[in-house]
Each structure stands twice: as structure tokens, then as C-alpha cells.
Amino acid sequence: MLLLLDKSLVEYNEKQEKNPYLGNSYAPRKDSASPANSCDPSVIAELNRLKKAVNKAKCTANNGKEMTCMRDETEFYFPFSFIRKQYDVSGKMSKDGTRFELFTSYSKIRVPEGDSYDPVGPFGHFATYSVETRDRVRCISAESGVPMSTQWNATPYYYPIQIAQYGLQHYSRMLVNKTDEDAIEKGLQSNEWKGSSDSQDSSERVFYHDAEKGNLVNITTSGELSNAGCYVFLDQSPLHHVISLEWLPIQNASFSILVRIIETDILVLLNYVTHHDSRCIWNDSVSFAGLEQVSFSFSLGEPRIEWQSITRDALVDTSRALSSMNTSKKREGNVVLHPGDIKLVSIGFRGAVVVKQKVVQARNAHMKFFLTAADWLASNQNDEGGWSVPVERAIAERRLVLDAGWHSAMAQGHALSLLTRAYAVTKNATYLTAASEALDLFEKDASAGGIRNKLFGYDWYEEYPTTPGSFVLNGFIYSLIGLYDFKSVKVNSEAPEEVHSGVERASRMFSTGMDSLRALLPLYDTGSGSIYDLRHVGLHTAPNLARWDYHAVHVYLLKWLVQITGDKSLNETADRWIAYSWGRKAKHN
């Protein structure tokens, strides 16, 4: 019988082997001068029982490598290191250290809250997501305001799924984590704007009032990053790490946020420079004598002499900056800072710039970041109605390869979910027009550059539209949820005809997709877990089993669809898959 090896038995056995004074039984040394040495007879009896009953044994499993196990009369105890790998289980000591706990699944199963789903409410449990801190996110671009990925390429690029998830995350947080806004305004008074004390750094500040913009400060300094420029000291509340400002960059313009990491007292200088750099963020050589400081630069893109609104989360930017110093692909180099870990010291401006005389510090900017992501989608949609991925994607040891420029049903679905929510907030029909155009790829075969494949005659919207198909389950379901969100939009009569017809098309596509899911879902059931995709059907290989974290995603998505449709068969499957995560298996014949 395969059981967990009891640590106490191992320790006891090893101690006995090392103790030359212990034979086949234990008898305490009698010493009249030391009555404390006498032992309770019951303890002696238990030690003798353990000595007789427990012994090391040589074991093998499945005719494999020999290992040491323990024997307790008729029971055999295999090492947990073997059990963990052989049976894909997890385990750890309890918090109080009194017992060892074994788990079939290492991932917590979650299900949607409530009995119904609001297509303009929070998106699943995305309020708990943190796209910004993923190790494959290089930065939140200072040029576009959305994430840039290095998941499949060392040079940062825009990954539509990631961008849409970023927007949905901030939308969901905006609704779920409602907090009283207590923004702090700095720089309102002219005497708050300081100049460098270095005699070699000349700075000029001219304060004036503009009828449209209000109080402004015209700054002229050297454009060198080593120049402190004209700066404002910020409030050092560790919770107010989001900075918003308006500026007009004219020549050699840049601004910098100086951050102090509370635990280490290290200063981090975040420079935002007006030129394009494909690295998005990089470690530069700027240093200041006598200070323990590191310096990084973010690309703001090519200079544009126009008023610009800037919002940066310095907590996120500091995390991404420090993470960028890790040259390996190991997650250990991914730095994640939390609210309370940093304080903002100052913000400074260099070159020739005009700045509105108000710098705002806040706890968050969920609405701003949500709409920035939605606007990126509306502005970057291609002629096919999609958002292509600009890097190659290779699957199954390169037996399935998508050339750069491929589209994803998961990206299209997430985009629908984000764009419909942007419309719900702003009533701007531009978002719905983009959503309508995004439907075209659902009706275009993967072999022709679309996202649709067929399996046994059923349409499948492909996260990775390979030929032959890969049929990823979670990406398909996310695309269905996006279609549902769009088909549920309350469109007024003044909306373009394209939008009205788009809502009807989305409804048909959702119904078609649900028929496919009901028919094909049993193919993803292993009897003890679930399958990530069906690539093995076309490639004639072993199935690609879902890791437990993806299995948990499958359960959540199925329960989400149950909220939407009330489908009993999907609910039964989800409940069975939950039981798999607790070790239950399907019956054999």
C-alpha cells in the first residue's frame, strides 16, 4: 500500500542506528544518583514497539529505480518525494507543525459568486488579478499606457490578451474595491517648485495663468538626466503612489519620479524620456554622488509638442524597473512590490516644458487605466477586425507553428468584454463599432487567417488557430463570454446599423459555440482531471493534460457559463471536475 512516510518514524529509526547503546529493546540506565533519568514505563514500551515494528526496507515501483521505504508490520511507506512526482500530488506541513497535509490539487477551486452574471459588472474574479506584476510583463508602456509582454520574444511587444485583461482587471477593481477618494494635490503654490542648488545647473521658472488650463509653470533647464531640473516634493504617504499631471513637452523634455523603498532605504529614480525605445524600460547610468540609488528610464515615444495627460503608478513602475535588471528567465527575478513598500520623494522636470501647476497623488486610477486599455483596442484594430500578435507562437515541439500576425479568439472575446463595458461607462458608440468589426474573424477559418476551426462538424473558436486545430478549452470559453457580453448590450435606436446587426450576429455565434461546447466537452474529461486542449486529435500524440491551476480555471469558466445559461449538463461536469481536485476518480469497468 502506498502511504506517506511518517517523518517521526524516520527520525526515530535513524537515531537508533546511530546509538550504540540501544539494542533490540530499550532499557534506561539506572543511576540512583540521578532519579530524573528514570523513564515512564509506558514510554519505554512505546519505544520498544516502534523498534520492533518499524524497519527500513528496499522498494521499487513499476519496476523502476530502487528506493528506501519504511515497513510497519504489513504496511509499506514510500517517500513523499516519490509519491509527489508519480501521482501529481502536493503536500506540506500544517501551520502548527503537528501533521503533514496531502492535496490532490495544488490550486484552490473557485466558483463565481452569486446566482447570476451581469455582463457590465465585474469580469469574473479579475478584481484579484495583477497583470502588471506578471513576470512576462516587461512594463506598462509610458508611450501607450498598456502592458508590453516578453512572453514569446525578448523584445517587448503588445499582446492583445494581456492588454484586454489589464483593462478588465482595473474595471473590476473599480467596481469591487470601492474606496473613498482622498487624492493629494501638490505644486499648487509657486514656492513648491524648487530649482537645483548646483551652480552649474541653471533653471528658469515662469508662473502664469492661462484662461483654459489655469495656473501653469514654464520651465527651462538642461535636458540632461543628471540635472535635478525643477522639482516638487511629494507627499510621502506610502498609499498614494499614483501620479497624474498635465504637461506640454517642447524640447529635450523629460520628467522623473524619485522613489524610496522603505525596507532598504534605496532610492529609485524613474525617468520618463521623450524618445522611442523598443526596450520600453532600461537601466541607465545616471548616478548622484553620496546616494545609494538606481536609475531607470521609460520611453514616452517620439516628441509631440501638444498637451498631454500623464498617469503613472510609481509602485508598478518601480517593480517593473527592478525586475528588468534580471537577465534570466527565472521567476525569482520578478520583483513584486505592494502598497506600503515605497514612498514618493519628488517629481522633477527637465528641458523646455510647460506644466499645469497641480500634481495629483492618488491610491489608484482604475477608471483611467481601464479606459486607456479600451482606447488602445479601439485605436489599434486592424482591417480584419482583430488585434494580431506580432510574434511567432510554436506549439507541440514546433509541430504547430503560428507565424507572426496571428489572431486569437481569446483576444477577440476579451476585447468584446472590455469594449462593451467601456460603452456602458461612456456611452461612446465607437467602442461598439469596434466590437461589431471584431466579429468578422469568428466567421473566418483558421486556415485563412481567422479564428474558427471545426471538430466533428462543430465550430470552435481558437485561442491558437493552428492547422490542424489545437482546440484550447479555456480560450474558447472566454470567447463565448465575450460574445455573450456583446449580445447583451442595450443599444439605443441612434446607434449605427452595424452595431444593431453586430448584436444579432454575436447572439448567433454564442448559440453556435454553446452547441459545440455541449457536444465536445466530454472529450476534455480524463476521469481524474481535465485536458488543456485537443491537439492530440490532429497530431496523433498523447493528450496535453491540464495542470491543476488550469483545471481550476476550467471549473470556474464552466460555472460561469452555468450562471449565464443555467445548463444542467455543464453544471454536472463542473461538479465532477471539482471532485477530481479532491482525489475522486471515475469508476473503471
Helix (H) or strand (E) holding 169: helix 160-176
What does the pLDDT average to over 8-15? 44
Question: Pairing state of beta strands 293-299 and 281-283?
Answer: antiparallel
Q: Which residues pair with 282 in a beta bridge?
A: 297
Give the pLDDT of residue 450.
98
At 201, list the grid cell. Answer: 545647473
Q: Is the pLDDT at 485 greater than 90, yes or no?
A: yes
Give the pLDDT of residue 509.
99
Q: Would you place residue 201 in the very low, low, confident or very high pLDDT band (cuts 50, 70, 90)?
A: low
What does the pLDDT average to over 521-528? 99
At 423, list the grid cell. Answer: 460603452
Angle CA(240)–CA(244)–CA(247) in degrees, nearest 5? 150
Give the pLDDT of residue 494.
84
Helices (H), 521-565: 535-539, 548-565
Give the pLDDT of residue 4.
43
What does the pLDDT average to over 497-516? 98
Q: What is the mean pLDDT of the chain?
A: 91
Taking the CB of residue 32, how many other CB atoms lie within 10 A of it?
Answer: 7
- The conformation of residue 547, written as its DSSP 8-state character, comes to P
What does the pLDDT average to over 493-505? 93
Lowest mean pLDDT among 149-163, 196-210, 360-374: 196-210
Q: Which of 333, 139, 446 is nearest to 454 (CA)?
A: 446
What does the pLDDT average to over 41-45? 77
Lowest mean pLDDT among 127-141, 190-204, 334-348: 190-204
At 568, list the grid cell. Answer: 444542467
Distance CA 324, CA 305 (A): 30
User: Which tops the pLDDT comparison, 374 or 56?
Assistant: 374
Q: Which residues pair with 298 in a beta bridge?
A: 272, 281
Cell 514500551 belongs to which residue? 45
Query: What torsion do the CA atoms of 168, 169, 172, 174 make, to the nearest 10 degrees?
Result: -110
Residue 250 · residue 353 · CB < 8 Å: yes
Is domain 184-363 classified as CATH 3.30.70? no
Q: Is the pLDDT at 74 greater than 90, yes or no?
A: no
Distance CA 37, CA 19 (A): 17
**CA-atom Rg of the chain in angstroms:** 31
Distance CA 290, CA 576 (A): 63
Percent of the chain with pLDDT over 70: 89
Residue 267 · residue 292 · CB < 8 Å: yes
Give the pLDDT of residue 138.
96
Q: Is the pLDDT at 449 greater than 80, yes or no?
A: yes
What does the pLDDT average to over 217-246? 94
Q: At what angle do helices 497-520 and 548-565 cross, to 10 degrees?
A: 120
Query: Domain boundaries in the chain?
Result: 2-103, 126-138+147-177+368-580, 184-363
What does the pLDDT average to over 276-290? 80
Residue 335 · residue 133 · CB < 8 Å: no
Q: Is the pLDDT at 297 greater than 50, yes or no?
A: yes
- Residue partners of 222: CB distance under 8 A and separation at least 6: 201, 202, 229, 350, 351
Terminal Cα distance for the chain, rounded: 22
Q: Is the pLDDT at 310 greater than 60, yes or no?
A: yes
Q: Is the pLDDT at 12 greater than 50, yes or no?
A: no
DSSP 505-544: HHHHHHHHHHHHHHHHGGGGB-SSSBEEE-HHHHHT---E
